[in-house]
Amino acid sequence: MSELLNRRLSLLGANLPLLKQCLHGIERECLRVTDQGRLAQTPHPEALGSALTNERITTDYSESLLEFITPALPDPAEVLENLEQTHRFVYSKLGEEYLWSPSMPCSLPAEEDIPIAEYGTSNIGRLKHVYRKGLALRYGRTMQCIAGIHYNFSLPEALWPLLRDAEGSGESERDYQSSAYIALIRNFRRYSWLLMYLFGASPALDKGFLRGRPHQLEELDADTLYLPYATSLRMSDLGYQSNAQAGLTPCYNNLASYTDSLRKAVGTPYPPYVEVGTHVDGEWVQLNTNILQIENEYYSNIRPKRVTYTGERPIQALASRGVQYVEVRCLDINPFLPIGIDISEARFLDAFLLFCALDDSPQLGNSECTQCTSNFLKVVKEGRRPGLELQHNGQPVSLATWASELIEQIRPLADLLDQAHGGDDHAKALDAQQAKVEDPALTPSAQVLARMTEHDESFVAFSLRQSRIHAETLREQPLPVERQQAFETLARDSLAEQSRLEQQEVGDFDLFVGAYQASILAISN
C-alpha cells in the first residue's frame, strides 16, 4: 500500500461518518422494442412526459432510446430502488412494447428508419435534435443505438479541505478538489480494464448491427456474431469509432489541459465535416463543422463533471467552478438484471472509485497512456482468454494475478465503507468479484454465451426472452398509488413546461445556435 493511501485511510478512519456522504446517481439507457424484438418505431410515449423537460425520464439519441435518471443520493440502495420505480412506472405506460435487456441493440431497421429523438419547437429542443442529426452524419445512426449505464459518484465535499490541510497543499480548496478528481480519473484509466472483466456483458451481437462492414468477429449462429473470450464488444473498437476524435486523447494530467483539449476540439474545423457544411438543402444537418459539435460528443470511459446552470456549457461549469463528481460511462447493462445493475456492483464500484481517488496517482506519460488503452481493449475483446497477459509498468502480468492484487488493494476501502455503514456488504461485494477472477464462467459475459448455447438461441432471441422475463417481474408489482401519482404529475408538469418554453420562445434559431457556439470561445482560463 502506498504511503499516501495509508495516511489518507487513517484520516478517513478518524472521520468515518463522512463516508456516508458520498453521493451516487445512475443513468440507464434502454431501447423500446416491439414484442418481436424489433426497434419500436412509435414516438416517445406522451404518458412518460416531455423528453426535453422531464428530469427523470428522457430519450438519448433516438426517439426509441429511453434514458432513466435517478437523483444523486447518499445510499446506493436507495438509488437502485429509485431506478426500479422508474422502470415500473414506464412499464405501466408501454402497452405491448418492451425495454430491451442488454447493451447491444435489437434487430434494427434500415439506417434512415432509426428515428432521431425529437424535443419540440423551442430553440433548445431544436438544438438537441440538430446535435443528434450531426451525430447521425458523423457516426451513423446504428452506433447511437448502443445503450449503457452511467454511474455518477462524488466524495463528500467536507473531505477535501481535511485532505488538503493534512497534506499541506498550497492549492485553493476548489483547485485541490479538481486535482484530486483528475487524479481519480488517471487511476481509473489505469485500472478500468478490471471493470470490463467483472461487469462486461456484451460478448455477442446481432449480425445486422454491422451492416455488412468488415470485422474480426466469429459466427455463433446464422444471426449472431461474437468473440469467444470477449467481455464487452460495446466498449471495443466496434463501438464508437471516430477518425475525427482519433487525435483527441486528453491524458488528464490537470483540469486545465482537459478543458483546453475539449475547447480546441469544439473550435477546430474538421475538413470532412466542413465539406458537408451545417446545412443541406436549407436544413440544419449539424451544429458546426468542428471536430466536436459540443463537448459531450467526446466519447470517454469516464468524465469529470459539474452540475451546470441553465444555458451553461459543461466545460464552462468545470472551468469556472471545478470538478464536482465523476461519471463512469463504460458499464454494460447486465441483461440478467431487471434494471441492468444491482447493489453488489454498486458497492464494488464505490470501493473501486474510492481507491482510485485516494491512492497515489502519478501523471500519465504517453507510453503509460498507450498501455492503459491497450490493456482496456485487450480485456474487452479477450478478457476471459485463459492465461491472458496485460502490461503493468511495461512488464507482462497475468490478468488473474493483477486483478486479485487490485481487489486486495481495494479491500481496506471496502472495510472502511462497511465500518461507516455497518454490516459487511462492501466486503461481500469484493468477495463476489474475486470469485469471478478465480472462475471466469461466473462473469456476465460468460453467462450470456452459456445461456445462448444452452437454449440454442440467437443474440436477439436470448435478449428478447430476458426482456420478457424482466417485464413480467416489473409489472407484477405495480407501484404504490402515491408513487405512481408522483410520476404521473412529473410527466404532466414536464409537458406543460415544454409547452411554456415553446410559447415564450423569442429569437431566431440560427442566432440561438450562433450564441451557443460563441459561448465556448468566451471561456477564459
Q: What is the mean pLDDT of each run of 10 residues along the chain (525 residues)?
A: 92 95 98 97 97 98 98 97 98 97 97 97 96 95 96 96 95 96 97 98 97 93 97 84 70 87 91 96 96 91 92 89 97 98 98 98 90 96 98 96 98 97 97 98 98 98 98 95 98 98 94 87 52
What is the pLDDT, as a whole number, of residue 492?
98
- Based on C-alpha coordinates, what's the Rg of the chain? 23
Distances (CA, A) of 136 to 25, 71, 278, 291: 28, 30, 13, 14
- Spatial CA neighbour of 44 closest among 124, 101, 115: 115
> Rounded distance, CA 158 to CA 444, Å?
37
306 touches 284 (CB < 8 A): no
C-alpha cell at 95: 402497452
What is the pLDDT, as a whole number, of residue 129?
98
For residue 335, what are the contacts with CB-CB under 8 A and spacing of at least 6? 101, 102, 201, 444, 448, 462, 463, 466
How many Cβ atoms are within 10 Å of 282's Cβ, its own excluded?
A: 5
Q: State the architecture of 3-521 in CATH terms.
A: 2-Layer Sandwich (3.30)
What is the pLDDT, as a whole number, of residue 248?
75
What is the pLDDT, as a whole number, of residue 69?
98
Distances (CA, A) of 187 to 382, 407, 414: 22, 14, 17
What is the pLDDT, as a whole number, of residue 220?
97
Specify which residues 32 forms β-bridges with. 99
> Rounded distance, CA 456 to CA 462, Å?
9
What is the pLDDT, as a whole number, of residue 524?
41
> Rounded distance, CA 69 to CA 52, Å?
13
Distances (CA, A) of 168 to 25, 114, 156, 472: 32, 55, 19, 56
